[in-house]
Amino acid sequence: FKKTLQEEKHKLLAPLKEEAERFEKLMQGTGMGYEELFSYQGDVHRFIDQMKTGDRDANFGKRLSDMADDYLKLMKAALRKRTDLHPTVQLLAAQLKLLGEMLTQAAPRIGTLDLALTNLTPMGLLGAIDNEVSRLSAERSRFMLARTPIMLRSMVQGEDAPFVYEKLGVRFEHFLLDEFQDTSHIQWEN
């Protein structure tokens, strides 16, 4: 499962890395470095490096978005008069915009995969502990109180609520619901 998650993440990151490398090749064609060509060169350089390394903290913020939308904002003010650079910088801006769109589209899935990969071992351990607790409870004819809402849901599902109390053979005149969890779907159903 871990291998499958890693492969899926690699499939999402590979196109981002390729497009970041394409950006750098275009930039190298100008014969200039980040510092010479771009206003806010640190933002551009950091973003391209993050794309190349698959950094999950990569952020295509407003400044980068504005520069991608208007290629003149991408260039240093002193270079804007050099019309020979304009076609290349237009391509760079388009490439930057493409990278931003690709990241925006892939980021939620990449984040989910990162979280799954980070928590896979603890979740496996918790699953093993849960299985052992269930086994021991069944052996000793015990029932975990935390599983009561699940059992209650299975009893009430598709029935009127009084059915449960008829099954118990008890009549209750008053009820007190203590610490009802409004975020619990099971408790809402019950």
C-alpha to C-alpha distance for 47 and 80, rounded to whole angstroms: 22
E strand spans, 55-110 = none
Which pLDDT value is given to residue 165? Answer: 61
184: CB partners within 8 A, 6+ apart: 149
Closest of 63, 15, 183 to residue 23, by C-alpha: 15
* Distance, first Cα to last Cα, the chain: 34
- As given in the structure block, the two tokens for residue 131 are 């299985």
pLDDT 10s digits, 91-143: 999 999 999 999 999 999 999 999 999 999 998 899 999 999 999 999 998 88
In 3D space, the residue among 66, 22, 21 whose CA is nearest the CA of residue 43 turns out to be: 66
Half-sphere exposure for 71 (CA within 13 Å, toward CB): 16
Question: What is the pLDDT averaged over residues 37-61?
Answer: 87
pTM for this structure?
A: 0.66
DSSP state of 55: -
Report how far residue 19's alpha carbon sits from residue 111's, in angstroms, rounded to the nearest whole number.
20
What is the amino acid identity at position 142? R
Task: Map tokens 């391209």 to a residue.
Answer: 48
149 — pLDDT class (breaks 50, 70, 90): confident
CA distance 54 to 87: 28
